[in-house]
Amino acid sequence: MSGPLASLKVLDFSTLLPGPFATLMLADMGAEVLRVESPTRPDMVRLLPPSEDGVSAVHGYLNRSKRCLALDLKKAEARQVVHELVKDYDIVVEQFRPGVMDKLGVGYETLKAINPGLIYCSITGYGQDGPYRDRAGHDLNYLALAGMTSYNGRRDSGPAPMAFQVADIAGGSCHAVMGILAAVVHRQQTGEGQHLDIAMTDAAFALHGLAAPPALVAGEDPALEGTTLNGGGFYDCYRTRDGRYLSVAGLEPQFFSQFCQAIGRPDLTSKGLSQDAQTVAEVKAGIAEALAGQDYDHWCALFADLDCCVEPVLSFSEAAAHPQLRARNMVVDVPRHDGGHQRQVASPFKFSATPVGYRFSGAHIGQHNREVLRERGLDDDAIQRLRDAGALGGDA
């Protein structure tokens, strides 16, 4: 593998979305990632349709370039395999509730005793301590408790779910990668590994970049359609005559002035940044009326040549085919295990000296059992004994 992280080896015990998305980023950047997956309790992502090559498309994407070893960690023999593997690995990523990895015999303290330089990242909903440490949750719950859902939505319909998993990905995945790489730098300087406690609720709470300061300093909680960026001003999406939508975001006066001229409402220019509720409503109503007077294609053609921060609201398929994303090669063909290719979203990282790479789409359960174990020095008889003991499962 190429990539700036080609020197790192990662054991990935995670399932679903946050951990796998984090290790996807690491794998794209060159890290060698080995998934350790249960043969008796498979990752639910494997069951999501559609499928290619007998593998879920979602699983194929989230787990590209990662080898898969199927171990039943409830068996002592499987735990011993992990204890041997961790001697040569830099990073562990896990996503169980607090204490589960300890019960399985592969918790931080156990693995640290084997490899003191190990960086061990635990991703959970609420963290390793606090009253909610053992509580079940999902992305919507974390965002709700972090105060983010309270100002996402419309006044007349109330709070709404986010369109994508903000707490899982922006919170869990991205913060895990940032923390891991910071710990790698620390270890390079000191030789010391450490345990990272990444709570998705904490990370979501930390994403209140513009809303937190007014709330903490002046007690001004953000409300639905109450800020410039959540529908409380003209910065919003507007319906065209044929039922499509445009995003209007030209907050700066030079952009808003140009926009108002383009839609034939220059009279709105001086009112764009008003904080008066009645004036804001007047501006939004004027924009809505103007944009509803023409079809989507008319406005797209008009704004294509204007630099005023107006863009069409595209479906995912339209976005994938957009000239900008095509020029950036944001959809790639990744080799499948049957010799075909799967279309996947590319890594967004563009390195001039160490480009990202894609080895293969997500593997079948245990597809790399024999390969990985032979690398550890086990012969066919030893591998069969693991299988006979119920410690090893999957396809190979």
Annotated catalytic residues are: 138, 168
| Separation between Cα atoms, residue 187 and residue 239, nearest integer Å | 53
| DSSP letters spanning 4-21 | TTTT-EEEE---TTHHHH
> Measured on CA atoms in the order 284, 288, 290, 295, is the torsion positive or negative?
positive
Residues in the chain: 396
Q: Give the number of other CB atoms < 10 A from CB of residue 328.
A: 12
What gap in Å lies between CA 71 and CA 376, rounded to an integer? 15
Which of 394, 356, 342 lies closest to 373, judged by CA? Answer: 394
Locate 173 and state its tokens: 């995945």
Reported in sequence order, the residue ranges of 32-104 that DSSP labels E, i.e. its strands, are 32-37, 51-52, 55-56, 66-70, 91-94
Structure tokens at 59: 């699983």
Query: Bridge-partner residues for 52, per DSSP?
Result: 55
Cα dist from 234 to 272, 282, 285, 298, 322, whole Å? 7, 10, 9, 21, 26
Identity of residue 286: G
Report CA torsion sign: 133, 135, 141, 147.
negative
> Residue 277 to residues 170, 227, 273, 281, 330: CA-CA distances in angstroms?
32, 11, 11, 6, 41
140: burial class by Cβ within 10 Å (0-12, 13-18, 19+)? Answer: middle
Distances (CA, A) of 351 to 63, 346, 359, 360: 21, 13, 17, 20
- The token pair that represents 89 in the structure block: 């690995």
Quick one: DSSP state of residue 126?
Answer: S
